[in-house]
Structure 1
Amino acid sequence: MTVNDDSFTNWKIREEIAESMIPLIGKLHRERDVTVLLHSRSLVNKSVVSILKTHRFARQIAGAELSVTETMPFLQALTTLDLGPSQIDLGMLATMYKADERGLSVEEFTAEAVAGATGANKIERREPRDVVLYGFGRIGRLVARLLIEKAGSGNGLRLRAIVVRGGGAQDIVKRASLLRRDSIHGQFQGTITVDEEHGTIVANGNAIKVIYADDPTSVDYTEYGIRDAILIDNTGKWRDREGLSRHLRPGIEKVVLTAPGKGDVPNIVHGVNHDTVKPEERILSCASCTTNAIVPPLKAMDDEYGVLRGHVETVHSFTNDQNLLDNYHKSDRRGRSAALNMVITETGAASAVAKALPDLKAKISGSSIRVPVPDVSIAILNLQLARETTREEVHDYLREVSLTSPLKRQIDFITAPDAVSSDFIGSRHASIVDAGALKVDGDNAILYLWYDNEFGYSCQVVRVVQHVSGVEYPTFPATAV
């Protein structure tokens, strides 16, 4: 048999195993509200090829490809356990099992590693929490996609309505079409139908009421059967407590802003300070996409090395706030054509760091350049550290952070030497460390951090909403803090 024959036979074997994983993963998700992950990447609703590619991607991080032949026994072991709602990482299970020297069987090790999600320890499945989207632009539609995707188990979050300004003829049809097809993020994964008579978009069986309103105070959400909902404001029109309080109408329990909050509105970066949100807090902000990109790695570096000062320069994709062609704009440079120019502008991300990381004493400055790409940005984080180190040490530390730390859902890591911005469209992490671009000289470290400023940020928003809604389920095996 030739090498080519060996490779093809091996592929077919792995393809068959991945195919047999799909119903097991789906059943765990639908019946027990268990999300199966591989190094923080969900395997729910993934195709055979997607599952195999996710396993192969582990090579970029851990240095060796993870095979479905290694993870399948752990998945099979999970199906025999009395599991409660949780997230379970097959990659972590396989990695920890290799390092374990007690001679346990896969079944014994798995039962021990996920004991917190079984038997008397498991949490009860919660009733779905209603969610309302106020505004249906770039972030609003991506958050909608995520909420619909995560509604597969019938628990967790349930998108009940979107609120928009009244449009013209076929308004609801056009909005449904924008949800169905996206020039950057591709086709919606599922089916979408429109019930114009009842003003409803039905996406993967989720009935979403379209409410037309020009002012938040004109809506009574209880009229639509909505109770104790989380309202996500995607407009950015109101950013202080007084303005956002306008959303606290009948049927709305909490308000989450997808822009930096002003005044005493807490800016929350999931993974860093989400556990500081008080139960009684009704208004909070998810800060900006850039704040979410830089704060987790900044925290990781400060925890290990100490940060004395820093500067962040963001090379940011253009946004709807800019003009397509030269025209009047309230900001000086943003009036110039976004598609034709690099545009120097300001960023509030550096000043927002203090809200998310109050214990960080370092002064962080920042600036930004908008460039002619529609999505994915890069933040260049230049840090003066409290002690000298080496490039190899920082490289290995950040790789380990991306794999095993409490920040593994926020920080990704890539070693591909030819990576470019479009490779990160659809990334669910807040930022991705580019290992090849990392620079360290004594007490100076320069990190290059890619981030999908649309989708990655939307994932962070949904994580915050899950947390404040009480439907953020624990992850196993537990990560050592």
Structure 2
Amino acid sequence: MTVNDDSFTNWKNREEIAESMIPLIGKLHREQDVTVLLHSRSLVNKSVVSILKTHRFARQIAGEELSVTETMPFLKALTTLDLGPSQIDLGMLATLYQADERGLSVEEFTAEAVAGATGANKIDRREPRDVVLYGFGRIGRLVARLLIEKAGSGNGLRLRAIVVRGGGAQDIVKRASLLRRDSIHGQFQGTITVDEDNSTIIANGNAVKVIYADDPSQVDYTEYGIRDAILIDNTGKWRDRAGLSEHLRPGIEKVVLTAPGKGDVPNIVHGVNHDTIKPDEQILSCASCTTNAIVPPLKAMDDEYGVLRGHVETVHSFTNDQNLLDNYHKAERRGRSAPLNMVITETGAASAVAKALPDLKAPISGSSIRVPVPDVSIAILNLQLARETTREEVHDYLRDVSLTSPLKRQIDFTTAPDAVSSDFIGSRHASIVDAGALKVDGDNAILYLWYDNEFGYSCQVVRVVQYVSGVEYPTYPATAV
């Protein structure tokens, strides 16, 4: 048998195993509200090839691919346990098991590692929490996709309504079409139908009412059976407490803004300061996409090395706020054609760091350049550290942070030598450390951080909403068993 034959036979064997994993993963998700992960990447509703590609990501840990033959025994072990709502990482199970020297079987090790989610330790399945989207632009539609995707178990968050201004004939049909097809993020994963008579979009069985209103004061959400809902304002029209409080109408309990909040509105970056949200807080902000991209790695670097000062330069994809062709704009430079120019502009991300990371005393400055790409940006974080280090040390530290730390859902890590911006479309992390571009000289470190400023940020928004709604389930195993 030739090498080619061996490779193909091996692929077919792994393909067969991955295929057999799908119903096990689906059953755990639907019946027990368990989300199966592989190094923080969900395997729920994934194809055979996607499961195999996700396993290949493990090359970044030990330089070799994690095989489905290694993870399948752990998945089978999970199906025998009395599991409650949780997220369980097969990659972490396999990695920790390899390092464990007690001679436990896979079944024994798995039961111990996820004990916090079994038997008497199980948490109760949550009743679905109503969510309303106010606005249905780029972020609104991506958040809608995520909410619909995460409704698969029948628990957690439930998108009940979208509030928009009337747009004329076939408005709801056109909005449904924009949800179904996206030039950057591709096709919606599932089916979408429209009930024009009842002003409803039905996506993967989720009936979402489309409410037309020009102002928050025009809506009584209880008329639509909506109770104690979390409203996500992705218009950015209101950014202070007084303006956002207008959303606290009958049926709405909390308001989450998808833009930097002003005044005393808390700016939350999930993974960094979400645990500071007070239970009775009704209004909060998810800050900006750039703030979400730089704060987690900034915290990681400060925790390990100390940061004395820093500067962030963002090279940002153009946004809907800019003009396609030169035309009047109230802001400087943004009136010039976005697809044809690099445009210097301001960013509030640096000043927002203080709100999300108050323990960081280092001054952080910032500036931004908009460039002619429609999605994915890069933040260049130039830091003066409190101690000298080496490139190898920082490289290994950030890789470990992305794999095993509490920030692993926010920080990703790539060693791809030819990575470019389009490679990160659809990334669910707040930012991705580009290992090849990392520069360290004594007490100076320069990090290059890619981020999908649309989808990655939307994932951060949903994580915050899950947290405040009480449906953010714990992840197992911990980094040590």
- What's the TM-score once normalised by structure 2's chain length? 0.99
Match of 1:45 in 2: 45
Q: Contact 1:405/1:480 (CA < 8 Å) preserved in 2?
A: no
Query: CA offsets per residue over residues 411-465 of structure 1, 9 Å max, x none?
Result: 0000000000000000000000000000000000000000000000000000000
Q: Report the Cα distance in structure 2 between the residues aligned to 1:62 and 1:84, rounded to whole angstroms.
A: 31
Report the CA distance between 1:178 and its aligned residue: 0.1
Name the structure 1 match of 2:240: 240
Q: Is the 8 A contact 1:316 1:378 kept in 2?
A: yes
The alignment partner of 1:104 has SS state of coil
SS where residue 375 of structure 1 aligns? coil
Shift of 1:57: 1.5
For the residue of structure 2 that corresponds to 1:71, the secondary structure is helix
Deviations 1:264-307 (A, max 9, x none): 00000000000000000000000000000000000000000000
> SS of 1:23's equivalent?
helix
2:21 maps to which residue? 21
- What do the CA deviations read for 1:355-401 (whole angstroms, capped 9, x no partner)? 00000000000000000000000000000000000000000000000
Asked whether the equivalents of residues 295 and 356 of structure 1 are also in contact (C-alpha less than 8 Å), the reply is: yes
Q: Residues 62 and 354 from structure 1, CA distance in 2 versus in 1: closer, same or farther, beyond 3 angstroms?
A: farther
Q: Are 2:375 and 2:452, in contact at CA under 8 Å, matched by a contact in 1?
A: yes
Change (3 A) 1:231 1:432: same
Match of 1:130 in 2: 130
Q: Which runs of 5+ in 1 are unaligned?
A: none
Contact 1:406 1:480 in 2 (8 A): no
Coordinate RMSD, CA, aligned: 0.8
Question: What is the number of residues matched between the two proteins?
Answer: 481
How far 1:191 moved relative to its partner?
A: 0.1
Deviations 1:22-74 (A, max 9, x none): 00000000000000000000000000000000001221354221000000000
Deviation at 1:479, TM superposition (A): 3.8
Secondary structure of 2:334 counterpart: helix
Q: Secondary structure at the match of 2:57?
A: helix
CA distance, structure 2, for counterparts of residue 93 and residue 63 of structure 1: 18
- Paired residues of 1:406 and 1:479 also in contact (CA < 8 A): no
Residue 480 of structure 1: how far off its partner (Å): 6.2
Kept in 2, the 8 Å contact 1:61–1:413? The answer is no
Which deviates more, 293-302 or 62-71?
Answer: 62-71
**Cα distance between partner residues in 2 of 1:240 and 1:98:** 51
Q: What residue number does 2:459 align with?
A: 459
What is the alpha-carbon distance in structure 1 between the residues aligned to residue 477 and residue 350 of structure 2?
34
CA shift, 1:167, in A, is 1.0
Mark the runs of 5 or more structure 2 residues left unpaired by the alignment: none
Paired residue secondary structure (2:46): coil
Distance in 1 between residues matched to 2:247 and 2:84, nearest whole Å: 34
Q: 1:62 to 1:424 in 2, by over 3 A?
A: farther
- Alpha-carbon distance in 2 for matches of 1:176, 1:62: 44
1:289 and 1:180 map into 2 onto residues whose CA distance is 24
- Which residue number in structure 1 is paired with residue 97 of structure 2? 97
CA contact under 8 A between 1:326 and 1:335: conserved in structure 2?
yes
1:170-209 equivalence runs, <5 A? 170-209=170-209
CA contact (8 A) 1:270 1:460 kept: yes
- Preserved CA contact (<8 Å) 1:305 1:386: yes
CA contact (8 A) 2:216 2:247 kept: yes
Distance 1:86 1:270 in 2: 18
Deviations 1:191-241 (A, max 9, x none): 000000000000000000000000001100000000000000000000000
- Report sequence identity in percent: 94
Q: Which runs of 4+ in 1 moved over 4 A?
A: none
Give the Cα separation in 2 of the matches to 1:354 and 1:3. Answer: 56
Q: CA deviation at 1:97?
A: 0.2
SS in 2 for 1:443: strand
Secondary structure, aligned partner of 1:335: coil
User: Matched residues in 2 for 1:480 and 1:291: separation?
Assistant: 30
Alignment partners' CA distance in 2, 1:391 and 1:53: 28
- Distance, in Å, in 2 between the alignment partners of 1:178 and 1:139 is 12
Distance 1:141 1:245 in 2: 23
CA 113–245 in structure 1, closer or farther in 2 if over 3 Å, else same: same
Describe the shift of the 1:69–1:480 C-alpha distance in structure 2 as closer, same or farther (beyond 3 A). Answer: closer
Structure 2 CA distance for partners of 1:142 and 1:90, relative to 1, 3 Å = same
Contact 2:92/2:479 (8 A) holds in 1? no
Post-superposition shift, 1:98?
A: 0.2
Contact 1:61–1:415 under 8 Å retained in 2: no
Q: Is the 8 A contact 1:307 1:383 kept in 2?
A: yes
SS in 2 for 1:367: strand
> TM-score with structure 1 length normalisation?
0.99
CA distance in 2, matches of 1:45, 1:340: 39
Q: Secondary structure at the match of 2:55?
A: helix
